[in-house]
Structure 1
Amino acid sequence: MTSIIKLTCLSGVIDESPPCYVLQIDEFKILLDCGWDEKFDIDFIKDLKRHINSIDAVLLSHSDPMHLGALPYAIGKLGLNCPVYATLPVYKMGQMFMYDLYQAHRNVSEFDLFTLDDVDNAFDRIVQLKYNQTIDMKGKGLGIRIVPLPAGHTLGGTVWRISAPGEEDIVYAPDFNHKKERHLNGCEVERLLRPSLMLVGAMNANHVQQRRRLRDEKLMTTILSGLRGGGCVLVCTDTAGRVLELAHMLDQLWRNRDSGLTAYSLLLLSNVTYNVLEFAKSQLWRNRDSGLTAYSLLLLSNVTYNVLEFAKSQLWRNRDSGLTTYLLLLLSNVTYNVLEFAKSQIEWMSNKMTRAFEGARSNPFALRHVQLCHSAAEVHRTPGPKVVLASFPDLECGFARDLFLQWAPHAVNSIVLTARTSPGTLARDLIERGGDRTIELTVKKRVRLEGAELDQFLLQQKTDLNNTVKEDPAGISSDSDSDDSLEMMVVTGRHDIPVRSDHRTASRFKSNKRHHAMYPCHDERTRYDDYGEIIKPEDYRLAEIIDTEGDVKDVSPAAPQKMETEEELPEIPRKCISYTTQVHIQARIQYIELEGRCDGESLLRIVSQVKPRALVALRAGPDALKVLRQHCEAEGIEKVYTPSRGETIDATTESHIYQVRLSDALVSGLEWRSAGDISLAWLSAVVAPPRHSRERHHDQQDEPLDLIPSLEPAPNSEHAASFINSLKLSNLRQVLAKHNIRAEFNNGELSCCNGTIAIRRLDNGRVALEGVLSDEYYKVRELLYDQFAIV
């Protein structure tokens, strides 16, 4: 029996908006990705809210905000409550992406769409899977199976294969790459053959991509010319996705000592830099012969520390690269974590990475010469020309935008864009229109309060404190509730010094009341959880060990620790400001595609090889849709869907199949009969139109109307009895023998009771019973009827 398959496109069709789709298989609804664009378009959330209560599962394909950016908002604010499925790297790196995104916006504005707690709660819902692991859905999804397959593009990227009841397969592949890269294997196209329905990202259907060698040469030339000209090079990349491939590629560049890059610095700037680099542990800067030790690589991102630890690429390891004289700096907000995560995910990477780790036991993402940075100030303190890898690639927020505002007016600098971001972003505008012009940009900052604003803030703080003391006078406690308690509080600066009053009550007995200390000491309490004292791993982390050849052993560097004095300092009051400025772009703008997606020619070949029965084109413009449709017609693929935003398409394989609901009055009147392992009932009903006029709760105005018709009991439900079963006379003979009724076959019919009763099969397949009316006749008829389900 086939399944009813429908697809509702909330976003990610006709244009390059983030992918988000609701796939309905019978009554089970699956949310395919939950992306959000750089502008945080609230109209997308309105469309998602209408379906949020009916979603039964969520499948995430990649770790970047384009595929899961709205997940914290959906779970924390909209109340999405269902299992979320993703691979382990998507879970880990997705957290780093969202931490960096939140911190980047929080640094310059009062960002309140979601909090870090919402991010943690959302990712705690994720069920972590491995490639080729089969998961069976339960409840309404009984019979549906999901299998994650490698997609390339990003670490842990997934192509989902969904098996519906009726032997129908659905392949969801929004972004994939069939080619092997430096740190990733390609997509396994042979696992996608002959699906019933294929949902494919067709954004590159008409895109012609440069060869990898030409792109690498272009990047090297841009870096060399920028550094030798005395300027800085800003490479705009993401937090914990494509930055890994970029870092690994730069490692190969810095290996050549003839490259002349050994006198410069390479920095990675991000909010999570350490985590990303620890997660990836590449080979950058590890070999003395690479020539990279004299340069600084700067990766500017809100998660830079995590990203570079995740990436630990091969840069700076070869002495011949000429990069050993430069310093590699990684600037990020969560850099440490990303690098830690990357170390442990070698099995998710390419076969070359795995063999290198298994053979030499050297982690390919253990960076030594990369300097991790967590603020733009650290970048500016690094002297000389430098290369900085900074997030985000769209230049809408983060460290990349901050450095762009500072470096773009100078002709000696270079800006390298690595991805085609959404239309309307600053990076997309630079790709399409280039530089050497003046543009108007909105600058957002968080600055300290000064002058009258600071005085007003402190006055408000003091007023709030006084109100708190008045509301809770028991805050100053004593050991006695009598009137003899004559202590009073003297407020001096930051401390409340309790002193005794000069008025004392005369008494011949010595008072045993305990007095307060003149200068109170606040003891720091030990933090503990339900299992005891909380252990800090950094207190037991070993220092970095370097062998005689200069290689770093497999010992993780310590995470940046916050000094105790910093915790005691009061928070400096700040405010968010926004203003518009004119920026004259004199720096050289260079677009080098490093997205890691299939090009147009390869995409069309893969569609021809997979040969789906029906295809849905996602995230494709009009030109790309035209090219894809013409190719599908030539290959004999008749059903090609190009839905618009908000449209629901019916992709059911079989025709003339309709979905109806059984009313309670109809179900309660059914009489069930057992037939082997199943139960049957006769149903006589009429189709009733959907109830549009039913009353709805006031907070459910955005819920979609029930457009499914229902079945109501028919007025005249009388019908002739139907016998359901395929009876064999040999089996009936055994049943009669158990009841001491002897039966024999005679000319193809079953004769019993001394020939007075005969049972034979007619030409139309029915069974006829003939004989003399007697007690034996009714006994045989009863046993015969027991072999059927009579409805």
Structure 2
Amino acid sequence: MTSIIKVHCVSGAGDETPPCYVLQIDEFKFLLDCGWDEKFDMEFIKELKRHVNSIDAVLLSHSDPLHLGALPYAVGKLGLNCPIYATLPVYKMGQMFMYDLYQAHKNVSEFDLFTLDDVDAVFDSIVQLKYNQSVDMKGKGLGLRITPLPAGHSLGGTIWRIAAPGEEDIVYAPDFNHKKERHLNGCEIERIMRPSLLLLGAMNADYVQPRRRLRDEKLMTTILSTLRGGGSVLVCTDTAGRVLELAHMLDQLWRNKDSGLVAYTLLLLSNVSYNVVGFAKSQIEWMSDKLSRAFEGARSNPFALRHLQLCHSAADVARSPGPKVVLASFPDLECGFARDLFLQWAPHQQNSIVLTARTSPGTLARDLIENGGDRTIELTVRRRVRLEGAELDEFLIQQRARVHSAPKEEVAGLSSDSDSDGELEMWVVTGRHDIPVRHDARPAGCFKANKRHHAMYPAHDERARHDDYGEVIRVVGPCAWSARIAATILLANPAVKQQCLHCCVSAWRPEDYRLAEIVDAEGEIRDVPPAPPPKEEVEEEITEIPSKCVTSVRQVAIRASVQYIELEGRCDGESLLRVVTQAKPRAIVGLRANEGALTTLRKYCEMEGIEKIFTPTRGEVIDATTESHIYQVKLTDALMSGLAWRAAGDAELAWLSGVVAPRARPREPDTTEEEMAEDVVMSLEPCKSGRAHAAALINAVRLSELRAALARHGLAAEFVGGALECCHGTLAIRRLENGRVALEGVLSEEYYKVRELLYDQFAIV
């Protein structure tokens, strides 16, 4: 039995847009990745919205926003509600990616596409898997099995193998690397052999990759020449993916005393740098065999990076003296600390900017790769500034009105009806010695009443919170965001006692809190003046610094050296085509590639004798069903109600006569004509003629079983000359050459009784 397989390319087809595909196998629909580009294209969301309600499961291949960036919006705004499958590192590092992405935009704009609650909702829905762990789908997906396989490229990166009914295997491999790296093994090509359908990321099909040794030498030369010339190096990288390979490589260089790099500073700058390194330390089993053996033998963690200093603000970088190398997020230079440092360092010719990835077309990093530096460009600069004067007074008035109108149980913007008694409870609840107001009405039903009652005379107790290492957590910061994140993801490193991701508060003791310096877009460091003393009790409730976002356009002269050093960790063109040859798929779909790469892949497949090669465009639907002349129809209720079922062993059979007729599915009001045509499915309606059909006898009768049935009814039977004789030789049952069974003998009561027992061996429909 074969399956009807269709691939709907929501994004990432015919161009370099992020991967997002709907794979339909019969009635079950997988969402393969759900990436979003750096500019947050809303046209992609409109296309995704059409499929959200019909998605049965989501498969994530990598942890970066390119592969899962739109999931918080899909869950929070579009209502996506289904299981999400990913490996453990994709779960952990993906959360760090999205926290960093959210905060990078929130620092400079009124970002509202998704919230941290949406991010948490996504990762709460993730089913964490290990490599080679198979999971069987249920319900409509009965018979489907998914298996994650190592893909290389990033920590926990996955190639998905989907086993469909009828011995059909589908392999989804958007980004993979067959070569071993410092911290990762390559993909297992032998595990993806001979699939029925290969969904292949063909971005590098025509790309010639430099050798690893030459690439590393180029990076080393750029760093040494820049540092010795008195400049600093900005390495634009991601949050928790390829940055691990870079961090491990550079820390090894710094450990080598002959390199002369010990005198300089190596920094990792992101909103979640402490946590990324902390999670990497706990996931050595997901890394290369070399690192695993080193950890087991020497008992030294390869990600105990001695020379890498972890930072979470531009102020930390400014305080670091002398020339330095900074690994900063994000690689597209559209937001984050990398863009902030680029604006500061690009005008100085002694500095160097290292770009490590070819981001989407239209981004600043892609423009620098294609057009180079040594020119003046116009950039939009966004920053957040504190409110002053009349704007500050207006904000305080609005805050006062909001606090007075809020319920008394709400503290710091959090409602008391939240159910959290654990260590993440960051708001004040009813004190131990408070007198609660007694409610006259008792709660009805079997549900217990809310345990947080309104206090008549509140006396709030200060609760000490402790981390995993016994340190007291007292989150003191000017923003509620810091309290939330500090409680969930901070203190992965025991040496760090306190940390605030948003307001750059850092201290060794809880008593040493102060507001750090803020580096503005012009590169000037200024101290943040202390907050004005509270005029009334209302000001004490303000939990974030009053600020606004301003936008300006600047002419930025790029005088620093701009280098593109490829550190993406993907297969090059030659290796990609060799993988296709070894895998030997029956059909290939080339995804996420420009026209040149798709043409190269198409010609190579024709040379290798692969007949089915699909190169779809964005929005196109591919029918990749293996067999031809197979159609999917719906059985109507009217047809099913008229069927007469007959038992046949452990199954039941019925004769079905129907007429194929078109039937439209329910559609949205704004559905286009093309979508209406796609939504039409065929159905089987009852025949109106009502003609009777000839009876069909279904089964293969064994004479030995028939003999046993005759014996149970008191009819003796014996095998004579290959025939079964019964009733003292008056009746004979023999098998004919065409496979049928013949009953011969004298008409009598025994004849009709034997014939009835013979018919009972068949299911007559």
1:225-252 Cα shifts (integer Å, max 9, x gaps): 1111111110000000000000111123
Q: 2:461 aligned to 525, 542, 546, which one? A: 525
User: Does structure 1 retain, via aligned residues, the 8 Å contact 2:275–2:493?
Assistant: no
Amino acid at match of 2:393: D
Instruction: Say if 2:587 and 2:613, in contact at 8 Å, map to a contact too.
Output: yes
Q: 1:673 aligns with which of 631, 636, 646?
A: 646
* Inter-partner Cα distance in structure 1 for 2:654 and 2:660: 18
1:420 paired residue number? 358
Relative CO higher for 1 or 2, CA cutoff 8 Å, sep ≥ 6?
2
**Helix, strand or coil: the match of 1:154?**
coil
Q: Does 1:218 align with 2:218?
A: yes
Distance 1:524 1:218, change over 3 A: farther
Question: Shift of residue 264 of structure 1?
Answer: 1.3
Show the counterpart of 1:537.
Answer: 468
Does the 8 A contact of 1:152 with 1:187 survive in 2? yes
What is the one-letter code of the residue matched to 2:287?
Answer: M
Identity of aligned residues (%): 74
**SS of alignment partner, residue 571 of structure 2:** coil
- Mapped to 1, the partners of 2:670 and 2:362 lie a distance apart of 34
**How many Å separate the matches in 1 of 2:253 and 2:668?**
63
Quote the residue 1:429 is aligned against: 367
For 1:687, the aligned partner's letter is V
CA distance in 1, matches of 2:265, 2:554: 30
Taking the aligned partners of 1:628 and 1:468, their CA distance within structure 2 comes to: 63
Partner SS state of residue 80, structure 1: coil
Q: Determine if contact 2:254/2:307 at 8 Å carries over to the other structure.
A: no
Matched, 1:781 2:755: yes
User: Residue by residue, what CA displacement relative to the aligned partner does 1:514-541 show, whole Å, maximum 9, x if unpaired?
Assistant: xxxxxxx9965355xxxxx864335449
Contact 2:251–2:308, Cα closer than 8 Å, also in 1 = no
Residue number among 706, 709, 713 corresponding to 1:735 in the alignment? 709
Deviation at 1:605, TM superposition (A): 0.6
Partner of 2:733: 759
Counting only pairs closer than 5 Å after superposition, residues 575-654 of structure 1 correspond to structure 2 as 575-654=548-627
When normalised by structure 2's length, the TM-score is 0.83
Q: Is the 8 A contact 1:274 1:559 kept in 2?
A: no
Distance 1:691 1:699, change over 3 A: closer
Q: Does 1:384 align with 2:322?
A: yes
Measured after TM superposition, the shift of residue 177 of structure 1 is 0.2
Q: What is aligned with 2:418?
A: none
Answer yes or no: is the 8 Å Cα contact 2:179–2:187 preserved in 1: yes
Kept in 2, the 8 Å contact 1:441–1:580? The answer is yes
What one-letter code is carried by the residue in structure 2 that aligns with 1:650?
D
Corresponding residue number in structure 2 for 1:129: 129
Write the distance in 2 (CA, Å) between the matches of 1:253 and 1:641: 45
1:342 aligns with 2:315: no
Please list the CA deviations of residues 535-576 of structure 1 after superposition, one character each: whole Å capped at 9, or x if unmatched.
43354499xxxxxxxxxxx98433434647679785321001
Which deviates more from structure 2 when the two are superposed, residues 741-750 or residues 229-238? 741-750
Classify the secondary structure of the residue corresponding to 2:353: strand
2:523 matched residue in structure 1? none
Q: Is the Cα contact below 8 Å between 2:274 and 2:493 reproduced in 1?
A: no
How much has 1:701 moved relative to structure 2? 8.8
Give the deviation of 1:382 after TM superposition.
1.2
Instruction: Name the SS for the 1:276 alignment partner.
Output: helix
Letter in 1 for 2:394: Q
Q: Does 1:405 align with 2:347?
A: no
When residues 756 and 269 of structure 1 are mapped into structure 2, their CA distance, relative to the original with a 3 A threshold, is: same
Check conservation: 1:29, 1:54, Cα contact below 8 A: yes
The 2-side partners of 1:343 and 1:461 are apart by 43
Counterpart contact for 2:194–2:584, Cα < 8 Å: yes
Q: How many angstroms does 1:651 deviate by?
A: 0.8
For 1:419 and 1:202, the matched residues in 2 are separated by: 16
Q: How far off is 1:461 after superposition?
A: 3.7
> Which residue identity does 1:344 align to in structure 2?
S
Question: What is the one-letter code of the residue matched to 1:15?
Answer: D
1:455 aligns to what? 393
Contact 1:449 1:574 in 2 (8 A): yes
Tell me the distance in 1 between the aligned counterparts of 2:348 and 2:190. 50
Deviation at 1:450, TM superposition (A): 1.6
Query: In the alignment, is the contact (CA less than 8 A) between 1:405 and 1:583 conserved in 2?
Result: yes
Counterparts of 1:15 and 1:697 in 2: how far apart (Å)? 29
CA distance in 1: counterparts of 2:581 and 2:498, whole angstroms = 51
CA deviation digits over 1:333-375, x for unaligned, max 9?
Answer: xxxxxxxx11110000000100011011111111233222111
For 1:315, the equivalent position in structure 2 comes to none
Partner Cα distance (1:54, 1:67) in 2: 20
Pick aligned residue for 2:545 from 562, 572, 582: 572
Displacement, 1:31?
0.6
How much has 1:440 moved relative to structure 2? 0.7
Q: Is residue 771 from structure 1 mapped to residue 745 from structure 2 by the alignment? A: yes
Partner of residue 310, structure 2 = 372
CA distance 1:783–1:535, shift in 2 (3 Å): farther
Q: Provide the rounded CA distance (Å) in 2 between the counterparts of 1:464 and 1:79.
A: 29
1:707 Cα deviation from its structure 2 partner: 1.7
Q: Give SS of 2:567's match.
A: coil
**Cα separation, 2, equivalents of 1:53 and 1:713:** 31
User: Could you tell which deviates more after superposition, 622-631 or 60-69?
Assistant: 622-631
Residues in 2 aligned to 1:267 and 1:148: alpha-carbon distance in whole angstroms? 34
Map 1:701-720 to 2 at 5 A.
706-715=679-688, 716-720=690-694
| SS of corresponding position for 1:13 | coil
Q: Is the 8 A contact 1:9 1:646 kept in 2?
A: yes
Deviates more, 1:704-713 or 1:151-160: 704-713
Q: Which runs of 5+ in 2 are unaligned?
A: 412-456, 474-491, 501-509, 516-539
Counterpart in 2 of 1:59? 59
CA distance in 1, matches of 2:401, 2:459: 28
| Deviation of 1:462 (Å) | 4.5
Letter in 1 for 2:170: I
Q: How does 1:39-78 map to 2 (within 5 A)?
A: 39-78=39-78
Q: Map Cα deviations across residues 489-508 of structure 1 (whole Å, 9 max, x no partner).
A: xxxxxxxxxxxxxxxxxxxx
Q: What's 2:158 paired with?
A: 158
* C-alpha deviation, 1:60, in angstroms: 0.3
Q: How big is the shift at 1:748?
A: 2.7
Distance 1:107 1:717 in 2: 75
Match of 1:167 in 2: 167
One-letter amino acid of the counterpart of residue 544, structure 2: E
For the residues of structure 2 that align with 1:614 and 1:570, how far apart are their CA atoms?
Answer: 57
- Name the stretch that deviates more: 715-724 or 206-215: 715-724
Distance (whole Å) between structure 2 residues aligned to residue 50 and residue 269 of structure 1: 39
Aligned residue for 1:690, secondary structure, equals strand
**AA paired with 2:388?**
E
One-letter code aligned to 1:203 = M
2:213 and 2:244 mapped to 1: Cα distance?
A: 18
2:531 aligned partner = none
1:383-425 per-residue CA deviation (whole Å, 9 max, x = no partner) reads 1111110000000000000000111111111000000000000
Q: Cα distance, 1:706 vs. partner? A: 3.1
Distance 1:555 1:44, change over 3 A: closer
State TM-score, norm by structure 1. 0.81
Cα distance 1:168–1:460, how it changes in 2: closer, same or farther (>3 A)?
Answer: closer
What is the match of residue 719 of structure 2?
745
Aligned to 2:525: none
- Alpha-carbon RMSD: 2.3
> Are 2:595 and 1:664 aligned?
no
Distance 1:438 1:555, change over 3 A: closer
CA distance, structure 2, for counterparts of residue 699 and residue 663 of structure 1: 27
Provide closer, same or farther for how the CA distance between residues 358 and 234 of structure 1 changes in structure 2, counting only shifts above 3 A. same
Is the 1:687–1:709 Cα contact (8 Å) retained in structure 2?
A: yes
SS at match of 1:217: helix
AA partner of residue 113 (structure 2): L
Structure 1: where are the runs of 5+ without partners?
279-340, 476-520, 528-532, 543-553
Greater displacement, 450-459 / 678-687: 450-459
Please state how far the C-alpha of 1:198 moved relative to its aligned partner.
Answer: 0.5
